[in-house]
Chain A
């Protein structure tokens, strides 16, 4: 596919960010694709916010280069014109909701009528239609964050940076924030966001980037987009690609199944076991990851399993070989 050939929107090479002599971000190589949702996850202090700020050129790296559309980021750059960032704590200006939402349009010289129309659209996009005249001092925390999001989305940015967009919001607002982010992505905006909420991360991400002490660590889970096909008293059936998984029975509008790579068992023959899921596939890739091997098996969908080199040798896993992937229903977490 052309996907692999297309140059990434952002490419980072040897990037280091240092605060007070401490390296807080250290990334050897990272490319972020245009038009997708990239979610940064990790503990507090893992460098998520710093990475967002680096990409947004709010700070400059101590070493290394960050290229945006193939050009190294510099002062007065197109990144500023093409992107907006939503901060973790929503900071609104004094005045009305409309004054806030329309701010970016106003300084871009958009005429008042169009400004008001687009602001109204943006507000209904975050579930706050008709709130234009409200003063921001009367809004709840969740509403403030949604107004801040509308203020960013109204500019129809090419790239949207979000720092913990649901950290300070109530569950109701969370639904709107998620919907609005999804909507922006559908209309072509590249979204790069950080979050603590693994649920939000799994549901939204096209790609999950996990940070630990400023470094990117290898993914440890299969994130499989799909839909629930049905639920009986025993299982919820989740379809992803051409494969149907059995998962613990649970009601909900789930859109993603998460399957830890540690919980997949590879075998040559089908196993007699309590595990409720078993699929046949062909090994397409074997890569070393932290003293282990990550084996990619094509079973209609690509599943990745971590195995020890010794186990792989014993099993005779090699590219092109047939194998059976087994996992328990309870290993599948639905979000």
Chain B
């Protein structure tokens, strides 16, 4: 979520290093999930700088890892969709008396289809990844076990049917969320 307003700022302002930042962001989209897992792990493990917070192998740790994965996707896709708004867009709003904040909000509203796609892409990445969830959550039953880590576990146990069933549930879930959001945009 914080990716969207930040993306608006990046898209609608001009500052030195802006292009470089966007390039870095889009390459971060391809960041391997296990690398994120490793980085966060090293930060929050008992010996790491954030170790005293006791975050490792908690749902919170999984959330931090997933947020880091989602962030560049939302940021970079939203920024690029906002950049493709007509250059006159902010000017038209200005002459109608809109404040800066109003212009930001209207830009997101105008590009909402693309902003939504960004969120969906991020959702897809997060819901389907194993590496970070496994390393940071530890796949603890009823606590930090996610569908993907469960599938990995069942498969390695040889319980293919169980894994397959979970896989179907995961796919239905992803499809459902996608369909719902598209419906919302269409009927808004």
The contact string, 1 if C-beta is below 8 Å from chain B, for chain A 210-240, is 0000000000000000000000000000000
Q: How many A-B residue pairs have CB under 8 A?
A: 42
**Secondary structure dominating the interface of A:** mixed
Closest residue to A81 on the B side, CB-wise? B97
Instruction: Determine whether the beta carbon of A94 is less than 8 Å from that of B110.
Output: yes
Q: How many residues of B contact A (CB 8 A)?
A: 16
Cβ distance A267 to chain B, nearest Cβ, rounded Å: 52
A204 interface residue (CB < 8 Å to B): no
Q: In whole angstroms, how far apart are the Cα atoms of A313 and B88 in the complex?
A: 55
Tell me which of B92, B98, B99, B112 contacts A91 (CB under 8 A): B92
Instruction: Determine whether the beta carbon of B109 is less than 8 Å from that of A80.
Output: no
Q: In whole angstroms, how far apart are the Cα atoms of A275 and B96 in the complex?
A: 52
Tell me which of A85, A89, A93, A94 contacts B95 (CB under 8 A): A85
A36 interface residue (CB < 8 Å to B): no
What residues of A have a CB within 8 angstroms of the CB of B106 in the complex? 93
Closest residue to B89 on the A side, CB-wise? A91
B49 interface residue (CB < 8 Å to A): no
Cβ distance A236 to chain B, nearest Cβ, rounded Å: 41
Q: In whole angstroms, how far apart are the Cα atoms of A103 and B103 in the complex?
A: 12
The contact string, 1 if C-beta is below 8 Å from chain A, for chain B 94-129, is 111111001000100110100000000000000000
Interface size class of A (residues with CB under 8 A): 20 to 34
What residues of A have a CB within 8 angstroms of the CB of B109 in the complex? 93-94
Instruction: Determine whether the beta carbon of B95 is less than 8 Å from that of A58.
Output: yes
Tell me which of B88, B91, B97 contacts A107 (CB under 8 A): B97
Instruction: Determine whether the beta carbon of B95 is less than 8 Å from that of A107.
Output: no
Instruction: Determine whether the beta carbon of B96 is less than 8 Å from that of A104.
Output: yes
What residues of B have a CB within 8 angstroms of the CB of A58 in the complex? 91, 94-95
What residues of B have a CB within 8 angstroms of the CB of A83 in the complex? 95
Instruction: Determine whether the beta carbon of B97 is less than 8 Å from that of A93.
Output: no
What residues of B have a CB within 8 angstroms of the CB of A161 in the complex? 95
Cβ distance B159 to chain A, nearest Cβ, rounded Å: 49
Closest residue to A103 on the B side, CB-wise? B96
Closest residue to B111 on the A side, CB-wise? A94
Q: In whole angstroms, how far apart are the Cα atoms of A107 and B95 in the complex?
A: 12
Q: In whole angstroms, how far apart are the Cα atoms of A84 and B92 in the complex?
A: 9
What residues of A have a CB within 8 angstroms of the CB of B98 in the complex? 107
Cβ distance A118 to chain B, nearest Cβ, rounded Å: 14
Q: Which of A87-141 contact B (CB under 8 A)?
A: 87, 89, 91, 93-94, 103-104, 107-108
Q: In whole angstroms, how far apart are the Cα atoms of A89 and B88 in the complex?
A: 9
A60 interface residue (CB < 8 Å to B): no
> What 6 A-B pairs have minimum CB-CB distances, sorted nearest first?
A85-B95, A104-B96, A91-B92, A91-B88, A107-B98, A84-B95
Beyond A103-B96, A107-B97: 14 further Cβ-contacts under 8 Å? A56-B95, A58-B95, A80-B94, A81-B97, A85-B92, A85-B95, A87-B92, A89-B88, A91-B89, A93-B106, A94-B112, A104-B96, A104-B97, A107-B99
**A-B residue pairs in contact (CB < 8 Å), sample of 12:** A58-B94, A58-B95, A80-B97, A81-B97, A85-B95, A91-B88, A91-B92, A93-B110, A103-B96, A107-B97, A151-B96, A155-B97
